[in-house]
Structure 1
Amino acid sequence: MNKPLAYRMRPKTIDDVVGQTHLVGEGKIIRRMVDAKQLSSMILYGPPGTGKTSIASAIAGSTHYAFRMLNAATDSKKDLQIVVEEAKMSGTLILLLDEVHRLDKPKQDFLLPHLENGRVILIGATTENPYISINPAIRSRTQIFEVKPLNEEDIKQAIERALADSQDGLGDLDVTVTDEAMIHLTRATNGDLRSALNGLELAVKSTKPDTNGKIIIALDIIEECVQRKSLTHDKDGDAHYDVISAFQKSIRGSDVDAALHYMARLVEAGDMMSICRRLMVIAYEDIGLANPGACARTVSAVQAAEKLGFPEARIPLANAVIDLCLSPKSNSSIVAIDKALSDIRQGNTGDVPDYLKDSHYNGAEKLNRGVDYKYPHSFDNHWVKQQYLPNKIKNASYYEPVKTGKYEIALGKQWEWLISQKKGQS
């Protein structure tokens, strides 16, 4: 029986891993472990198809340790015993234990001593939050790493590798994937590389070659094979970004119906990543200090959506959209930080006043560091007039409250009082 393309294209060494550079990039923690051959047991958690098994097999391939795979829910204690016996013979063995959050107590009790003596290097894989779902006894003996959804470039890189690989991939076939089909394949699978490769393989194997023996994979074929419709047949993918732009502008403009319409387009395209990212940007860029509670609720809705996955994810995301649409709006934060950045980029900085400089080292006082600093908590109302900006820009002003929403109105009153107190400061 032929193994699926996603299985065949699993990385053989750490250099073959797609994405997850925060873990396997140069100088990052798992790369450092592999290079030093100082492995410790770990839990990898994240959505399906993001590379948990791939990282485990790549670690084994790079270190040349024996590698075995079991499932905590379906494999028995006897299966674990067989693995441990093999580890005793080989010296060190890497065990990928899928659904590690479902490891019951008898299996756990059997496994723990072998983790402690280093005979078995456990790599647990789970889609559940390990801080909630995994027994503390296992958690305390492992390092926990989050595996994140792959971006479009990561998936495109893996697809191109599969198309070029004659040994494990589809390189022995003359396959051309159109630009529109490639764009859709990298987006519609929502960061799930396994789904993207499975969709690609189905498309290639179910498409008849033309008279020249070429297999042309067009957008309609990919739509059928991944069961997601493209937003449009726009070759450059501009319409995708147009929808995202319209989505943000509709929320900014407080049009609930339009915002839900554009979100529905993204839901239908399976593009959870764009929805989640854009909602968090909108929350802090467009709502901001007018309603900080809505910002916090948006983050919670995004986390719930990522945990649920589609189709249920549409529910917390819709809650967030409606909440943000009907919330008061303020862009004071983004305006303020951009003003400050503009000063920096134009060279308007100046020296930090001596009394604000670090004074926690011998000899600092001789350099006048920290001398005459006024500690606000030692004064009434925990505030004292004191210059904090460098002399060069001591009168610079960046933040201006937008008085929409009770919270920023209150901030505005405090800001106005502070400005009045600072007048005349030299």
Structure 2
Amino acid sequence: MNHLLFESLIEAPLSYRMRPRHIEEILGQQHIIGKDTALYKMIMNGHVPSILLYGEPGIGKTSIATAIAGTVDMPFISINATTAGKKDIEDAVSTAKAEGKLILFIDEVHRFNKAQQDYLLPHVERGLVSLIGATTENPFHDVNPAIRSRCGQIKELRPLTKEDIKELILRALSDSERGLGHLQISITEEAIDLISSSTKGDARSAMNVLEDVVLASKTRDSDVVEVDIELVKECVENKGFSHDKDGDLHYSLLSCLQKSIRGSDVNAALHYLARLIEGGDLVSICRRLTVIAYEDISIAAPEVGVHTVAACQAVERLGLPEARIPLANVVIEQCLSPKTNSAYKSLDKAIEDIRKGNIGEIPDHLRDAHYSGAKVLGHGVGYQYPHDYPNGWVNQQYLPDLLKNRKYFKPKQNGQEKYFSKVYDRLEQLQKEGEK
């Protein structure tokens, strides 16, 4: 085999070489740049608007930018906001002035500093520079509003499908100019499918795996690269799984977990729990499960709160991988428990009254009377001690006069809350009878 061919593979990664050169070569993302979209039509007419692209790593943000530049045949400069300085922006603007127009791609645009922004944005407004920003974070949370306001389109990329990844692999295997087509590669459909399905819609990861597999299959005594399925399995292990505990994806997964439990979907909840466990942030999982126990299940099944706290304590003591066991137990229990939000919603109504100034004076008979002179002020006078009465209840006013008839709590009929509802209704009835 010609060893120079393998040396050429190392010079530029396959993922870089196989980036689309034209928007027609873009895989997936049809909701962003399909032939019926406004963005596609603008680009085909030679106009490149300033846009923000966000999504997980490896799903095509940089590829879309380079393909756009290749389609309109405009100067293209790519920088990373984490390493670029103001001088890089100045150089880009100078190039734009010399060439007439420029596409400036800024990766990690959420890290763009104020000095860079203040220099660049006037040139974006004038149309001298078309800004394409890319970020893995939610731009509505993390990207400076000044940058967002200059970008006419904000597009969320979706992970590529298994079919998209498979098509990219086949392109790389057949492309003799940029890919691996100049090599005699023997690879089974099973191996291609394994790479396609194991890289979770991450094109860069799929290309890296394919290149690793080919380079690892190289032998000195054969012109054919024989790809072994076991070697593929080794190379795809843990590939394509990305999880940033400080990123937007992490909080989206926590949100999905809570909403799946709230909706009593056990299988969905276990799916999102598994993804969070693979991310390794047990603290966030336990915190969210504790919130769920009191926000979504609450007094419909009060024991779930106790069980959740106990499970989280076990998680802290056990660590992974054993921590997954109590987590599985409590997530399934939470899913299948009755749900209510009436408790905290009732409190929220009371807090709303307080913030609006609907407070009133504390009734004198409820005021602290554990000091000399309290009776002179009328504090504690007339208070009726419930334990001195049959059934431990006595009809007396507790709310201030201003809020005497205010009702915050409206019980539902779910689980244990049915019992609380009956008690609540009975007490209200006794109170009305005592007022007659």
TM range (shorter): 0.5 to 0.7
Q: Per-residue displacement from partner, 1:235-256 (whole Å, max 9, x unpaired)?
A: xxxxxxxxxxxxxxxxxxxxxx
Taking the aligned partners of 1:35 and 1:407, their CA distance within structure 2 comes to 61
Q: Does 2:333 match 1:326?
A: yes
Cα distance change on mapping 1:154 and 1:75 into 2, 3 Å: same
Q: Does 2:115 match 1:106?
A: yes
Deviation at 1:116, TM superposition (A): 0.2
Q: Per-residue displacement from partner, 1:130-176 (whole Å, max 9, x unpaired)?
A: 11111110011112110111111111110110000000000001112
**3-state SS of the aligned residue for 2:84?**
coil
Taking the aligned partners of 2:329 and 2:93, their CA distance within structure 1 comes to 53
Match of 1:352 in 2: none
Question: What is the TM-score of this pair, normalised by structure 1?
Answer: 0.59
Taking the aligned partners of 1:309 and 1:51, their CA distance within structure 2 comes to 26
Instruction: Please tell me the root mean square deviation across aligned C-alpha atoms, in Å.
Output: 3.9
Deviation at 1:228, TM superposition (A): 3.7
Taking the aligned partners of 1:158 and 1:317, their CA distance within structure 2 comes to 36
- Which of the residues 151, 156, 164 maps onto 2:161? 151
Match of 1:165 in 2: 175
| Correspondence list, 1:199-218, <5 A | 199-209=209-219, 213-218=223-228
**3-state SS of the aligned residue for 1:140?**
helix
Mean Cα displacement is larger for which, 25-34 or 157-166?
25-34
Task: State the AA in 2 paired with 1:184.
Answer: L
Q: Per-residue displacement from partner, 1:251-300 (whole Å, max 9, x unpaired)?
A: xxxxxxxxxxxxxxx99xxxxx9xx99x979977xx7xxx43x569x78x
Taking the aligned partners of 1:158 and 1:208, their CA distance within structure 2 comes to 22
Deviation at 1:316, TM superposition (A): 6.6
Match of 1:178 in 2: 188
Taking the aligned partners of 1:24 and 1:317, their CA distance within structure 2 comes to 36
Question: What is the TM-score of this pair, normalised by structure 2?
Answer: 0.57
Counterpart contact for 2:109–2:133, Cα < 8 Å: yes
Match of 1:6 in 2: 15
Deviation at 1:37, TM superposition (A): 2.4
Counterpart contact for 2:265–2:335, Cα < 8 Å: no
Match of 1:221 in 2: 231
Counterpart contact for 1:186–1:196, Cα < 8 Å: yes
Match of 2:197 in 1: 187
Taking the aligned partners of 1:62 and 1:141, their CA distance within structure 2 comes to 22
Taking the aligned partners of 1:180 and 1:407, their CA distance within structure 2 comes to 54
Taking the aligned partners of 1:181 and 1:315, their CA distance within structure 2 comes to 37
The alignment covers a number of residue pairs equal to 286
| Gapped regions of structure 2 (runs ≥ 5) | 1-9, 243-248, 290-326, 338-412, 419-436
- Which of the residues 262, 265, 279 maps onto 1:311? 279
| Gapped regions of structure 1 (runs ≥ 5) | 231-265, 268-272, 331-402, 409-426
Q: Per-residue displacement from partner, 1:63-119 (whole Å, max 9, x unpaired)?
A: 111111001110111011111000011111111101100000000000110110111
Q: Per-residue displacement from partner, 1:28-85 (whole Å, max 9, x unpaired)?
A: 2321221232321111111110000000000001111111100111011101111100
Q: Per-residue displacement from partner, 1:311-363 (whole Å, max 9, x unpaired)?
A: 33788789696565214659xxxxxxxxxxxxxxxxxxxxxxxxxxxxxxxxx
Deviation at 1:223, TM superposition (A): 2.4
Taking the aligned partners of 2:122 and 2:170, their CA distance within structure 1 comes to 43
| Correspondence list, 1:265-284, <5 A | none
Taking the aligned partners of 1:186 and 1:18, their CA distance within structure 2 comes to 13
- Which of the residues 37, 51, 61 maps onto 1:28? 37
Match of 2:403 in 1: none
Q: Does 2:51 match 1:83?
A: no
Cα distance change on mapping 1:109 and 1:305 into 2, 3 Å: farther
Counterpart contact for 1:305–1:314, Cα < 8 Å: no
**3-state SS of the aligned residue for 2:150?**
coil
Counterpart contact for 1:328–1:405, Cα < 8 Å: no
Taking the aligned partners of 1:40 and 1:9, their CA distance within structure 2 comes to 25
Q: Indicate the percent of aligned positions where both proteins have the same amino acid.
A: 41
Counterpart contact for 1:328–1:404, Cα < 8 Å: no
Counterpart contact for 2:104–2:131, Cα < 8 Å: yes
Taking the aligned partners of 2:277 and 2:65, their CA distance within structure 1 comes to 24
Task: State the AA in 1 paired with 2:126.
Answer: N
Task: State the AA in 2 paired with 1:175.
Answer: I
Taking the aligned partners of 1:210 and 1:182, their CA distance within structure 2 comes to 24
Taking the aligned partners of 2:48 and 2:55, their CA distance within structure 1 comes to 21
Counterpart contact for 2:199–2:239, Cα < 8 Å: no
| Correspondence list, 1:352-363, <5 A | none
Task: State the AA in 2 paired with 1:11.
Answer: P
